[in-house]
Amino acid sequence: MTLDELRGRVEEFLAAHDPATTRRREFLRARFDAGLAWVFFPPGHGGLGLPHGWQAEVDALLDQAGAPDNNPESNIIGLGMAAPTILAFGTEEQKRRYLRPLWTGDEIWCQLFSEPGAGSDLAGLATRAVRDGDEWVVNGQKVWTSGAHNSRFGILVARTNPDIPKHRGMTYFLCDMTVPGIEVRPLRQITGEAEFNEVFLTDVRIPDSHRLGDEGQGWAVATTTLNSERVSIVGSGAPREDGMIGVVANTWRGHPLQRTPELHDRLLRLWVEAEVYRFTGARMRQKLAQGQPGPGDSAIKLTFATLNQKLSGLELELLGEEGLRYSDWTEVRPARVDFNGRDAGYRYLRAKGNSIEGGTSEILRNIIAERVLGLPSEPRVDKDIPWKEMAK
């Protein structure tokens, strides 16, 4: 299929599904079935097997026609992490079951990875899954789970074999968040709101048909998710001055009395960094869509964290006394993170979490050093020790 033929397909779709008269959910489901959801996915799974870059052409044509989107900000984990992992490791039945309602937003997803004793070292997780016939019985605790209070499903990694080294005894599951035994509790953060959660799993039964990948393959499957996560956290392709750099640039333009040569120099340097970050992120997303996530993706997430923190700090300096105002978010249980719809104080505080979520900046630097630059790895004395001996 050529790009012109793809444009023609979009025009035909719009002629059959007028956005002005077609209900939103009906339109989104029909778009998925037509292969126009993510054209770089295979046919039958929302795509047409076309180059990733052609998706922008489809999105632009649909936007011009006033078509509804799938509100991607509300399902970042599903779209950016669960979907590419299901595509890579799922059975055909799993792909048919989960990808369509995930893309349309009918089903929201969360990520059940981190634990109180296993954050940066995910392979040290202690949540246990024990086989019982055609089911697995899961017990444990997960933490820092974004959006668990709004989610229908969760991607879950649990320990299925404690008798072998930690990386080899893990299995990956698709967890129904509505089954008995799951308790979601809010976690209040520095901004005042409860965006995160801790999740307790008590005798939760998961059918073996909800296992993603082979038993014991959990680390390999989770690595695909984590590489995808580091790209998805930074957002989708964006125009120039989108996001935090746009907020700060507009603040600069609107506060002439706060301008100094030193602040001007800092803003210009950060503007250049934001452009480098934007183009690098586009390249990373293309690799991800082609099924080529890798350790280099850690660099874009690390840049995102440091850039956001620098920009949010500069914004406060530009605002002066005005930057001291702060709204009360203690009653908020957000469905998504919203940097643009909040005040400068929120952005400054929330940006601190960017260097923790999705892999700490310290761990990302280790990944870049060892797997990208080829530097000697840090000593790991627990690499070949059975997990149960480490847990004593």
Active site residues: 229
Q: What is the DSSP letter of 22?
A: S
Contact criterion met (CB below 8 Å) for 241 and 370: no
Q: How far apart are CA 276 and CA 302, in angstroms?
A: 13
Contact criterion met (CB below 8 Å) for 122 and 157: yes
Q: How far apart are CA 337 and CA 353, in angstroms?
A: 11
Provide the CA 116 distance to its chain's centre, in angstroms: 20
Q: What Cα–Cα distance (Å) separates residue 99 from each residue in 19, 226, 252, 278?
A: 22, 19, 43, 27
- Size of the chain in residues: 392
- Residues with Cβ within 8 Å of 222's Cβ and at least 6 positions away in sequence, in order, are 113, 122, 157, 170, 172
Which residue in 42, 65, 62 sits closest to 52, CA to CA?
A: 42
- CA geometry: angle 54, 274, 265, nearest 5 deg: 155
Contact criterion met (CB below 8 Å) for 240 and 166: no
**What letter represents residue 296's amino acid?**
G
Strands 128-132 and 109-112 turn out to be unpaired
Contact criterion met (CB below 8 Å) for 384 and 165: yes
Strands 153-159 and 109-112 turn out to be parallel
Q: How far apart are CA 117 and CA 69, in angstroms?
A: 39
Q: How far apart are CA 325 and CA 344, in angstroms?
A: 8
Token pair listed for 190: 């520095």
